[in-house]
Amino acid sequence: MSKNMQKNTLLNLKPIQKFIKGIGKDILKYFGKEKGCIIGLEDDGVFYGEGLYYWLSKKKKNITFTVMDDYGKGLEEGKVRGRKVLLIDNDIVTGKAYRIAMKFMREQKERLKLKDIKFAVLCDRMKMADFSVEDYPAPSS
């Protein structure tokens, strides 16, 4: 599959469209004219992050894209250095992945000269994300 076909397929998926429609304008404001980096958290956050990256690229934003696991494994440091960073996942259920990933990025902030770090998800049960499309209460025990 060509890169262009992959991009168009990803942008046509309903969950990706819902994500972009729900937070796209806020993300445009967040990055403004600054250089940014979208980090898709493995596994599901990669799809949402890549979809948002393609959408922002069409808007001529100076954005890079990379992926990592919750602990920072796989992060391409050259793509984040000196930029605003937006971590992307599909949801926050307990907040564990959010806390681990944000802690890791905050520890890298000075060394990598990061301008800012935010977190975006489709669904946020814990109301922790900076940007989310939906929030819904955690199931009661």
Residue closest to 105 by CA, chosen among 76, 71, 74, 65? 71
Q: What is the pLDDT of residue 26?
A: 98
Q: What is the pLDDT of residue 139?
A: 56
Q: What is the pLDDT of residue 74?
A: 98
Q: What is the pLDDT of residue 35?
A: 98
Residue closest to 66 by CA, chosen among 75, 53, 57, 58? 75
Full-model pTM = 0.93
Residue type (1 letter), 125: R
Q: Is 2 in contact with 35 (CB distance < 8 Å)? A: no
Listed in sequence order, the DSSP H helices in the chain are 3-12, 14-31, 45-58, 77-80, 96-108
- Per the rule left: phi > 0, alpha: psi between -120 and 50, beta: everything else, 31 is alpha
* Residue in the block written with tokens 């980096």: 37
Domain 3-132 grouped into CATH 3.40.50.2020? yes
Q: What is the pLDDT of residue 3?
A: 74
Q: Mean pLDDT in each 10-residue stretch from start to end of the chain (141 residues)?
A: 76 94 98 98 96 96 98 98 99 97 98 99 96 74 51
Return phi, psi of residue 27, to 5°.
-70, -40
Listed in sequence order, the DSSP H helices in 43-95 are 45-58, 77-80
Q: Domain map of the chain by residue range?
A: 3-132
DSSP summary character for residue 139: P
